[in-house]
Each structure stands twice: as C-alpha cells, then as structure tokens.
C-alpha cells in the first residue's frame, strides 16, 4: 500500500510550484498525495523566510505536526524550503523534525526518507548552481485545473540589502527554454487555460543553448505561441531590468496578460540606494511611463516597505508621493522586518521605532486603498475579457475570474463554468473587485 504525503505551502507562488515538484519526486518514491494531515504518513511544511511573521507561523504549525507524530508512531515530519535552509540547526535541535531539506535538494528526498529513523533525522541543504528541476513534471495541486505555475529560473543575484533569498535559494540560473515550452504545451493539452512564468527576477532570464540565446522577451514569445487561447502571466519583474523589448512583446501578443508586478519598495532614491535596488526614483517612474505609453491598459501592482533602516519622514513622504503619481492597482505593503544574515542586518541599524513604522505603514495602506478604489472605479462602463475561475467566495451564486490586467471580476453565472472565457461589462467597483454583468 502506498504511503501518503501531506504538504502545507507558505509564501510565494514559487513555493507553490516547488510543492508541485516535491509531490512529483515523492510519487517516484511511492508516496501519494494526502488531502488531510490526519491521513498522512509524511507531513511537511514548504516554508518562506522573507518576513519574520512567515517563520513564526511555521513554528506554530510545527507544534501541530509534532502532535500528529506523537499520536501516530511512524509519522514523519519535515521542513523544506527557505526556512529549512536558513534555520537548519535550530529546527533539528527541537527534536520534532525528521527531515530538513533546502530548495535545491528536493531530489534527495527519497534517499533521506529511506535513511531516516527516530534517532537519525536527515538533512540536505546544499545549494546548487545548476539545479532547475527542468526534467520534472510537477504534480499540479490547484483545485480548478485552470491556472498553472511554471518555474523558469531559480535563485537571485541581486542581493538587496534586506532580502534573504540569495542566501536561501542561491545564485541565479535559468532553465532550458525548450523545457519551459514543453511544460506549457503539456498543461495546455490537459485543459489548463493560463500559465504563470515564475522567477525571483524574470527580466534577467537568460538561457544559452547550442546555437541560440533566449532572453525573457523571446521566452514570452515562445510560450505565447503555444496556443492563442493560452493566457500567459509572469512574476516578478525588477525595475532595473524590465526592458522596452519585454514591454513591446507584451503589447503585440494578445494572450500575454496586461499586468506587471513591479516592486518599488520605496519612493526615495536614498532608501533605494541603501536597499541596493540599483535604480532611482526617476528610473522607476520612467519605466512606468514607458509601460503606460505602450500599454495604457496595463495593470500595475507593487511591493512597498515602510520604515527601512534610517528612513526619515522625508523619505516616507517621497514614497507616498510616488504612489500618488503612479496610481498602483494594488500593493503588498509591510513594515520592515530585520532578517538575520542579510546585509542590512550585518551593516545597518534597524533604528525606526515600531510605532513610527506602523504609523507610516498605515498611511501607505490608506493611500493605496484610495488609489485602488480610483483605479477600479475608472473601469466602470468598460468591457473586459475574463477567465472564469469558479464561484465567488462571498456569493456562491456568482462567478469570479480575473481580467487581463489582473483585476478580480464578479458576475452572474449565466450558464458559464470554470475555464470558460467570457466578456463582461463593469457596472460598479470596490477597491479590490469589479462588479460586472
């Protein structure tokens, strides 16, 4: 009888894709996917270390996993992903973990599971300069069978001063372009209607094969050519690297969605220099202007950090003024969280008081909520094409789905089903949803 594995996934879309890769590797080791923890022989958390609260959630879940381990002898508990890489020794010291496996070591899971015992927990957190898992067909974990994540690269070379990713996911390497296209063809053949190409910095994607070089713009073209009715999304772009070529490629292919997630982090050039973002306020605004010149209907979302080391009130006001000028559709907004091991942690003082961070964050949130409402209200009266995802969470009698610009739409079912494309007219809007017919 096959053993069963249960995995909880935390963090970004890349972690979702990693979980799908892990399930594929475990299947080769004789494990089936379990929907419930209580049914599993192997319980794992695929973790994120970007912010402290993400790690704190995992410590709480580890107590729940440990209770299962005590109640059902033979159950194994593992921590995989970025937190495993960063806190390997601390995790093993708890005595509650049987496996600790980093993002580049998932292929070792079958070997580690064979070797594990109550007195011998197993660990593999070696980083790699080659591993992309390009030859592994992920086991799709989404419920609707409509949207699929495809990893196009791993790691990051940017070393932003606040970020742990280069230390937990290693150096940047790009996946074979033809393996990406094959995966897109595979999911399309199985009925998927949308793919999202994933990387820490997709704009720096660069793969060199025999007699050819493929950059990100070219890769977008190749995936868009798989089928005219296969939607193509991507995340995440970097302001210093997003090129005119990428913007123009998006504009000429209707099935490449008109949405760019372009993290700004701060509107102050001084802060951006301390963050090692490698662009200025002016550069960022120029890139936004170019995007809107070529694609006026393009959705723009972003990330913003409040209260980074030495941030002054003037720096904060520059962030607010940039947000006002750009008018983002939506944003991830956080107070700065000092991460051990980063450049900022080693060389800078986290000197903005918590109450000041929280006040600035709230001002950022309030401004973004206002701008989001403006952006969504501006859509009233327009027609947009929507990919139906499923019932609305608030009203199961309604359906929901995203427009090309990534705005969520809610509309009457009208005989439609998940996976259908439909054109809707926007009648009203909140700061997060278009109300349509």
Number of compact structural domains in the chain: 2
pLDDT at 412 over 90: yes
Note the pLDDT of residue 54: 79
| Per-residue pLDDT at 401 | 97
Please give the structure tokens belonging to residue 146.
């409509």
In this prediction, residues 183-200 reach a mean pLDDT of 97
CB 342 within 8 A of CB 315: no
Tell me whether residue 94 is in a domain: yes
* Candidate from 54-63, 249-258, 260-269, 423-432 with smallest mean pLDDT: 54-63
184: which DSSP letter? H
Averaged pLDDT, 268-292? 98
Query: What pTM was estimated for this model as a whole?
Result: 0.94
Last-in-domain residue among 89, 124, 159: 124
Boundary-marking domain end, from 98, 124, 150: 124
Cis before 236 (ω within 30): yes
Query: Mean pLDDT across the stretch 342-364?
Result: 97
Residue 85, domain member (yes or no): yes
For 15-32, what is the mean pLDDT?
Answer: 95
Q: How sure is the predictor about 149, in pLDDT bands with cuts at 50, 70 and 90?
A: very high
DSSP 208: E
Find the mean pLDDT for residues 60-82. 95
Bigger pLDDT: 1 or 409? 409
Could you say which DSSP state residue 106 is in?
Answer: G
In a domain, 312, yes or no: no
Mean pLDDT of the chain: 96
Listed range (49-53, 110-114, 128-132, 431-435) with the worst mean pLDDT? 49-53
Q: What is the CATH number of the domain that holds 431?
A: 2.40.50
Residue 374 lies in a domain: no
Residue 211 has pLDDT above 80, yes or no: yes
pLDDT of the residue at 248 = 98
CATH number of domain containing 31:
3.40.50.12160
Domain boundary among 124, 156, 185: 124
Tell me the residue range of the domain where 432 lies.
383-436
Q: What is the pLDDT of residue 11?
A: 85
In a domain, 250, yes or no: no
CA gap 364, 373 in Å, rounded: 14
Instruction: Compare 143 and 161 and report the one with higher pLDDT.
Output: 161
Share of the chain above pLDDT 90, in %: 92
143, pLDDT greater than 80 = no
| 68 CB-contact burial (10 Å; exposed 0-12 / middle 13-18 / buried 19+) | middle
Report yes or no on 172 lying in a domain.
no
**Contact status, residue 199 vs residue 156, Cβ threshold 8 Å:** no
Instruction: Give the confidence band of 111 by pLDDT, cuts at 50, 70, 90.
Output: very high
- CA 146 to chain CA centroid, Å, is 17
Instruction: Give mean pLDDT, residues 248-253.
Output: 98
Phi, psi of 410 (to 5 degrees): -125, 135
**Is 298 among the domain residues?**
no
What's the average model confidence in pLDDT over 87-112? 95
Q: What percent of the chain has pLDDT over 70?
A: 100
d(CA 412, CA 299): 24
For 87, phi then psi, to 5°, come to -120, 35
- Would you say residue 52 has pLDDT above 90? no
Asked, for residue 224, whether it belongs to a domain, the answer is no
């Amino acid at each position: 009888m096959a053993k069963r594995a249960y995995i909880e996934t935390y963090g970004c879309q890349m972690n979702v894709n990693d979980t799908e890769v892990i399930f594929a590797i475990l299947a080769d080791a004789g494990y089936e996917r379990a929907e419930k923890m209580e049914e599993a022989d192997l319980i794992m958390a695929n973790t994120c270390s970007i912010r402290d609260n993400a790690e704190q959630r995992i410590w709480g879940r580890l107590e729940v996993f440990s209770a299962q381990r005590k109640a059902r002898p033979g159950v194994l508990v593992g921590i995989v992903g970025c937190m495993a890489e960063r806190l390997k020794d601390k995790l093993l010291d708890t005595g509650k973990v049987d496996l600790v496996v980093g993002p580049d070591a998932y292929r070792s899971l079958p070997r580690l599971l064979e070797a594990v015992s109550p007195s011998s927990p197993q660990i593999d957190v070696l980083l790699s300069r080659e591993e992309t898992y390009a030859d592994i067909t992920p086991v799709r974990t989404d419920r609707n069978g409509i949207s699929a994540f495809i990893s196009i690269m791993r790691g990051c070379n940017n070393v932003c001063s606040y970020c742990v990713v280069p230390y937990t996911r290693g150096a940047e390497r790009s996946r074979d372009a033809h393996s990406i296209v094959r995966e897109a063809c595979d999911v399309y053949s199985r009925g998927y209607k949308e793919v999202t190409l994933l990387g820490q910095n997709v704009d720096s994607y660069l793969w060199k094969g025999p007699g050819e070089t493929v950059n990100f713009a070219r890769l977008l073209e190749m995936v868009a050519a798989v089928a005219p009715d296969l939607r193509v999304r991507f995340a995440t772009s970097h302001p210093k690297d997003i090129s005119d070529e990428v913007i123009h490629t998006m504009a000429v292919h209707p099935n490449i969605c008109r949405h760019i997630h372009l993290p700004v982090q701060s509107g102050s050039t001084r802060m951006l220099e301390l963050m090692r973002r490698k662009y200025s306020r002016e550069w960022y605004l120029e890139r936004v202007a170019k995007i809107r010149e070529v694609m006026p209907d393009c959705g723009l979302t972003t990330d913003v950090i409040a209260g980074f080391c030495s941030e002054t009130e003037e720096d904060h006001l520059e962030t607010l003024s940039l947000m006002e000028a750009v008018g983002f559709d939506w944003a991830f907004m956080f107070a700065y969280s000092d991460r051990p091991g980063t450049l900022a942690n080693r060389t800078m003082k986290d000197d903005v008081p918590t109450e000041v961070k929280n006040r600035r964050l709230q001002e950022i949130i309030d401004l973004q909520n206002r701008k989001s409402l403006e952006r969504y209200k501006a859509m009233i009266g327009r027609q947009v094409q929507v990919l139906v995802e499923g019932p609305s969470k608030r009203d199961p009698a309604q359906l929901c789905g995203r427009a090309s610009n990534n705005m969520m739409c809610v509309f009457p079912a009208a005989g439609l089903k998940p996976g259908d494309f439909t054109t809707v007219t926007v009648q009203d809007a909140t700061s997060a949803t278009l109300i349509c017919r």
